[in-house]
Amino acid sequence: TGRSTGAVATGEKVRRSATSSGKRVTLELGGKNAALFLNDLSAQAMVNGILEAGYLNQGQICAAAERFYLPQEKLDTVMTLLRQRLSEIVPGSPLDEKTVMGPLANQVQLEKVLHLIQIAREEGDTIVYGGETLPGEGYFLQPTEVKVRSKNSTLMHEETFGPVCSFIGYQNEKEALSHINASPFGLAASVWSENMSKALRYAEDIDAGMVWVNMHTFLDPAVPFGGMKGSGIGREFGSAFIDDYTELKSVMVRY
C-alpha cells in the first residue's frame, strides 16, 4: 500500500502509478472545507466557532474550514464582531508565549495566499479585514476576513491553506447545504447549532469524510480520518487504517 499527502494533481499521478503496478493507495488531497452555522446560535457563539474552525494554526491544517455559511440576517453582525476580534490578533514568533498566530510555512505559500486575495478583490469580493503582509522578517499575514460576492467566487472553490476565511449568507438551511455539497472536495465540515438533532441530520447529509458538530479539527486516533470526492481515497486512524495497510487472508481447515 502506498500513501501520499499533497495536491490533487500529485495525488492523481501517485494513484495512476500505484494502480499500474497493482498496489493499493491511500491519498489525502485537497479540500475546501465548510462550516454551517444555524440561526439558533448567538452572533458571539458564531464568532467563537469561526475562530476555532478557520484561524487555528493560521489555517494551515488540511481540515480547517475556509467556507462559512451564516444566516443572512446575522451575517453583517457576525462579521463586524469577528473583525474586532481579528484586529486584536497580532501574528508573531511561535517562540513567544503571547503569540496566538504565527507565520505561513514559506514564501511560496505566502505568495499563493496573496494571489488568491488579489483575485478576490478583482472579482468584487469585500476584504472586511486583513489581506496584507506584516513588516519585518517572516512570512506573516494578517488574519483575513472576506465577504464574497457570490457562491461562484474563486475563494469559495480554491483552497488557500492560510488564515483566509470566506463568508456568505443563506436564506434557508437547505440552500446552504446544497452549496456546501456542490464542491468537488469532501474532506471535512462542521455544523454549529444548539439543536443537536437538527445538527446531526445535517451532518449526515453533508458530503464529507469527517463532520464535526459544535467543534472543528478535533482528531481522535480511534476515529477514521480522510475524505471523499476530490479530497482523497482511503482512511488513516482507527480500524479503517489497519484495513488499508493489511491484506485479508482466509484459512480453511478440515478436521
Q: CATH code at 52? A: 3.40.309.10
Residue range of the domain that includes 173? 30-216
177 located within any domain: yes
87 located within any domain: yes
Q: How far apart are CA 156 and CA 170, in angstroms?
A: 14
Tell me what the mean pLDDT of segment 217-230 comes to.
86
**Based on the domain organization, do 96 and 189 belong to the same domain?**
yes
C-alpha cell of residue 9: 494533481
- Nearest CA to 235 out of 220, 247, 245 is that of 245
Residue 13 has pLDDT above 90, yes or no: no
**Based on the domain organization, do 185 and 241 belong to the same domain?**
no
- Nearest CA to 53 out of 188, 222, 208 is that of 188
**Based on the domain organization, do 1 and 81 belong to the same domain?**
no
255 located within any domain: no
What is the DSSP-derived secondary structure letter of residue 160? -
CB-based contact 35:190 (threshold 8 Å): yes
**Based on the domain organization, do 59 and 153 belong to the same domain?**
yes
**Based on the domain organization, do 22 and 57 belong to the same domain?**
no
Specify the number of domains making up the chain.
2
Residue 172 has pLDDT above 70, yes or no: yes
223 located within any domain: no
Our CA angle for 93, 96, 100, nearest 5°, is: 75
Q: Which long-range contacts (CB under 8 A, 24 or more apart) does 202-209 make?
A: 202/36, 202/38, 202/173, 202/177, 205/177, 205/181, 206/34, 206/36, 206/177, 206/180, 206/181, 207/180, 207/181, 208/33, 208/34, 209/235
For 114-164, how does the pLDDT look when each residue is reduced to its tens digit (9 = 90+)? Answer: 999 999 999 999 999 999 999 888 999 999 999 999 999 999 999 999 999
**Based on the domain organization, do 84 and 139 belong to the same domain?**
yes
| pLDDT value, residue 238 | 81
pLDDT > 90 in the chain, percent: 69
**Based on the domain organization, do 37 and 154 belong to the same domain?**
yes
pLDDT higher at 147 or 224: 147
Which positions are catalytic?
A: 28
Q: How far apart are CA 34 and CA 67, in angstroms?
A: 5
